[in-house]
Amino acid sequence: MNSGPILRKEDIVFLISPSYSANKLEIEEGIKVLKTKGLQVQLGKSIFKSWGNFSGTDNERLTDLQEALDSATAKAIICIRGGYGLSRIISRLNWEQFIKNPKWLIGFSDITLLHIQIQKFGLRSIHGLMAARFAKQEHESGFQMLYSCLFNKQPTLDYAIQIESDFMPFEPIEGKLIGGNLTMIVHTIGTVLEPDFSGKILFLEEVGEPFYKIDRMLYQLKLSEKLKGLKAIVLGQFTECNSLGFPLKLEEIFKTTFLQIPTFSGLQSGHGTPNFPLILGENAIIQKSNDGFTFTQLLHQNEVI
């Protein structure tokens, strides 16, 4: 599988903000962190702009994103933050040059839409920390893990997870990892961006949604019958998601909605801390360990990262 290259010192990374705007100081501190790692940073022209909550107008953000996708020199595209905005521009993107010259795309939240599109091309991308958080002390471990992935400093990602289903799988579960933000995934159902879930492991995370809305989104997925053939669901961080009187716990909502799909929790990835990287579009293996289960991805089997 083709994907982004191993990064080296002096390589160029392209910084963009295709959704909401970020604090100027946070952007500048993120740039500084990347430069201390020996990287050259190319900046999208709209990253310090604002149009309401957006980082520039639709056309300005689209121009930056298209330039980053088309770049023949950048080795990675790093998003500054999420929020909202990609839905307004993603259908206008031209992916021809990106497919010919793939590079890593890094981000989460609203960036889920770009990840889904990239996986449709058979390529990989990184669900991980964004530049506005690179310099924050509480995100140091997430940034260091991302750095290790990009610079080929470790062979695998290994994370501890817990089983939530009422049945215990005896054999390892293996499949390509897809997913990201729950709201954005549900947003794609019935559109050209709708993922193929069959044979996959689905990772989900969310922020700021009450349990009844999460329940409603899960029933939309269930009633759409799109998850047939899905091998497993792995829950990441559901940050600032409150029950508001809903009678089930979060994990119970998932396991009672999808009785036939093994469900796991505890993956430290999403809007919380730490936010560890995941390689979307790459195989993942879930297997029993001494004290629970492990979620593993082999990073270098395709001579990338």
Whichever domain contains 268, its CATH number is 3.50.30.60
Residue 245's pLDDT band (boundaries 50, 70, 90)?
very high
pLDDT tens digits along 164-218: 988 777 799 999 999 999 999 999 999 999 999 999 999 999 999 999 999 999 9
pLDDT tens digits along 8-24: 999 999 999 999 999 99
pLDDT, averaged across the chain: 95
pLDDT at 69 over 70: yes
- Most distant CA pair in the chain, distance: 54
pLDDT tens digits along 142-154: 999 999 999 988 8
Domain extent, residue 182, equals: 156-298
Residue 132's pLDDT band (boundaries 50, 70, 90)?
very high
- Check whether residue 207 and residue 245 sit in a common domain: yes
pLDDT > 70 in the chain, percent: 97
pLDDT at 301 over 70: no
Q: Single out the catalytic residue among 205, 209, 251, 282.
A: 205
pLDDT at 130 over 50: yes
Q: Which of 150, 166, 199 is the last residue of a domain?
A: 150
- Check whether residue 210 and residue 246 sit in a common domain: yes
Q: Which of 150, 172, 206 is the last residue of a domain?
A: 150
Q: Single out the catalytic residue among 109, 165, 265, 269.
A: 109
What's the domain count of the chain? 2
- Check whether residue 70 and residue 201 sit in a common domain: no
252 in any annotated domain: yes
User: Cα separation of 105 and 84, whole Å?
Assistant: 17
User: Cα separation of 73 and 70, whole Å?
Assistant: 9
- Check whether residue 103 and residue 160 sit in a common domain: no
* Nearest alpha-carbon partner for 44 in 81, 82, 73, 15: 15
268 in any annotated domain: yes
pLDDT at 302 over 50: no
Which of the residue ranges 32-46, 82-96, 159-173, 183-197 would you say has the lowest mean pLDDT? 159-173
Residue 304's pLDDT band (boundaries 50, 70, 90)?
very low
- Check whether residue 103 and residue 196 sit in a common domain: no
**pLDDT at residue 2, as a whole number:** 57
User: Cα separation of 295 and 158, whole Å?
Assistant: 6
**pLDDT at residue 300, as a whole number:** 58
Q: Which of 119, 150, 181 is the last residue of a domain?
A: 150
pLDDT > 90 in the chain, percent: 91
8 A C-beta contact, residue 135 and residue 276: no
- Catalytic residue check, 115: no
- Check whether residue 192 and residue 239 sit in a common domain: yes
Phi, psi of 168 (to 5 degrees): -105, 115
304 in any annotated domain: no
4 in any annotated domain: no
- Catalytic residue check, 109: yes
